[in-house]
């Protein structure tokens, strides 16, 4: 018997997916609490009801001479007391219902703005904001600029007071603050990715169930509008972006704000070429050193910080690279630098010195194929200066003709393999 399988349709990027996911999680938590409550409180309530009912039944049956009424009281208490607790455990939580209504409101807004696609707008739903729990309900990109749409489920009439916008006595300040923050995040990140393009950004709060008296009312830079007027509002914006600029903004927005994923482990980090090369060179160096990364912890911490800031949002010129193939293979006659400089240490990169004073590259023998210089590419800033030992290492020649000493240096004693730091300018013999 053959079984045909069909790939599951991804739900990420659908309207209200994040709210629906939170709704399902809240329902699951509520079910766990319900099961725990039924397993603990119902038996205890049944025991209490049996004890109380037995006492009342004995008093009514033998004290008042009404055994039938005593039995009835016992049965009623044994059923009603635990049953009431069990029924209360299946009640609907207001917080869970709020999440369901929020997901439905996002879907209503998505249906209302779907007509904007024929007017040159690209609509992206339920986009995640990196390093934040917030999500963008709807992100519109088109000739009029970038629109950030959030949906509100309050019912009534929106009125403006000294304290801000109100809906039947309930303040809209939390929703306005969230929409304003999302608009600022989108504005900053998109303009950082495209600094040469002037991109208008409009945060909008869409009232799905409430009526708005002024269609163009705004507070804290956030426009409050009814769901039936949102298409008219977007189309009224003058065209400031040409099709090419729209595609550039779209590509940047898709990279900066990926679809919300219910599985946080599935999220990935986007790095640029310089960061990737830096990370790979650091890992290769650790492997060649036998797993010793004691001298590279600071550099690895810097790499982690760069990735955390998502440095691919800005253009980088790159960092200077030091290639082992660029170093001279023969002995050098140039004097070593003074003890106060560490440029030689940064330029040497990763060189090992044996007992004979010959500098050996940790990269091993060169491979006879193209790209051998790429094999020896090590970032110069990976190795941090280690004081006098690093400077003495950088002052040794690369050739095998024997050690050469600089002016003012004391030659090492026979049999002494330790490196001696170069003397200062004022320490002549």
> Which stretches does DSSP call E strand in 143-254?
145-152, 157-161, 164-167, 170-171, 201-207, 211-212, 217-219, 222-226
pLDDT band of residue 45 (cuts 50, 70, 90) is confident
Residue-wise pLDDT tens digits, 201-240: 999 999 998 888 776 678 888 999 999 999 999 999 988 8
pLDDT at residue number 161: 83
pLDDT at residue number 256: 92
Mean pLDDT taken over the chain: 72
Nearest by Cα to 300 from 386, 384, 382:
382
- Within 13 Å of residue 28, how many CA atoms lie on the same side as its CB? 6
Q: How many secondary structure helices (H) and strands (E) does the chain include?
A: 11, 14
pLDDT at residue number 86: 83
**Per-residue DSSP letter, 228:** G
Mean pLDDT computed over 176-197: 93
End-to-end alpha carbon distance in the chain: 94
Q: What is the pTM of this model?
A: 0.54
Select the more confidently predicted residue: 24 or 427.
24
Mean pLDDT computed over 158-176: 87
Query: At which residue do the structure tokens 């004391």 appear?
Result: 410
pLDDT at residue number 22: 87
Residue 392 in this model has a pLDDT that exceeds 90 = no
Domain boundaries, the chain: 19-91, 97-265, 274-365+372-394
Residue-wise pLDDT tens digits, 294-334: 666 666 666 666 666 654 444 443 444 444 444 444 444 44
pLDDT band of residue 429 (cuts 50, 70, 90) is very low
SS3 for 8-45 is: CCCCCCCCCHHHHHHHHHHHHHHHHHHHHHHHHHHHHH
Exposed / middle / buried, residue 329 (Cβ in 10 Å: 0-12, 13-18, 19+): exposed
Residue-wise pLDDT tens digits, 47-96: 888 888 888 888 888 888 888 888 888 888 888 888 888 888 787 778 88
Long-range Cβ contact pairs of 239-242 (< 8 A, separation 24 or more): 239/143, 239/144, 240/143, 240/144, 240/145, 240/198, 240/200, 241/142, 241/143, 241/144, 241/145, 241/197, 241/199, 242/143
Residue-wise pLDDT tens digits, 109-147: 999 999 999 999 999 999 999 888 889 999 999 999 999
**97-265 adopts what CATH topology?**
Trna Endonuclease; Chain: A, domain 1 (3.40.1350)
pLDDT at residue number 262: 59
């Amino acid at each position: 018997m053959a079984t045909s399988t069909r790939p599951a349709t991804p739900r990420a990027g659908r309207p209200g997916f994040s709210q629906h996911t939170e709704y399902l999680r809240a329902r699951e938590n509520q079910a766990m609490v319900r099961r725990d409550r039924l397993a603990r409180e119902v038996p205890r309530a049944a025991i209490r009801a049996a004890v109380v009912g037995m006492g009342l039944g004995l008093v009514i049956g033998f004290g008042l001479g009404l055994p039938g009424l005593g039995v009835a009281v016992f049965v009623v208490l044994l059923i009603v007391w635990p049953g009431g607790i069990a029924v209360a455990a299946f009640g609907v939580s207001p917080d869970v219902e709020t999440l369901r209504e929020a997901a439905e409101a996002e879907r209503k807004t998505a249906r209302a703005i779907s007509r904007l696609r024929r007017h040159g707008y690209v609509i992206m739903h339920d986009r995640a904001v990196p390093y934040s729990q917030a999500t963008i309900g709807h992100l519109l990109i088109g000739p009029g600029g970038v629109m950030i749409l959030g949906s509100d489920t309050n019912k009534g009439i929106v009125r403006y007071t000294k304290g801000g916008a109100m809906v039947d006595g309930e303040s809209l300040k939390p929703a306005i603050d969230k929409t304003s923050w999302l608009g600022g995040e989108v504005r900053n990140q998109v303009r950082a990715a495209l600094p040469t393009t002037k991109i208008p950004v409009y945060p909008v709060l869409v009232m799905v169930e409430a009526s708005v008296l002024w269609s163009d009312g705004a507070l804290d830079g956030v426009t409050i509008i009814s769901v039936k007027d949102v298409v008219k509002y977007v189309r009224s914006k003058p065209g400031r972006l040409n099709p090419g600029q729209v595609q550039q903004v779209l590509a940047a927005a898709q990279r900066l704000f990926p679809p919300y994923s219910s599985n946080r482990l599935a999220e990935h980090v986007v790095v640029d070429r310089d960061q990737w090369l830096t990370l790979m060179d650091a890992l290769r160096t650790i492997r060649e050193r036998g797993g010793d990364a004691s001298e590279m912890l600071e550099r690895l911490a810097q790499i982690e910080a760069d990735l955390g800031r998502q440095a691919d949002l800005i253009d980088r010129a790159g960092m200077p690279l030091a290639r082992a193939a660029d170093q001279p293979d023969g002995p050098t006659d140039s004097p070593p630098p003074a003890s106060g400089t560490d440029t030689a240490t940064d330029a040497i990169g990763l060189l090992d010195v044996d007992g004979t004073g010959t500098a050996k590259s940790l990269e091993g023998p060169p491979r006879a194929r193209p790209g051998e210089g790429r094999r020896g590419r090590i970032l110069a800033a990976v190795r941090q200066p280690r004081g006098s030992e690093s400077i003495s290492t950088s002052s040794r020649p690369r050739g095998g003709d024997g050690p050469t000493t600089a002016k003012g240096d004391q030659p090492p004693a026979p049999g002494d393999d330790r490196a001696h730091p170069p003397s200062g300018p004022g320490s002549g013999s």
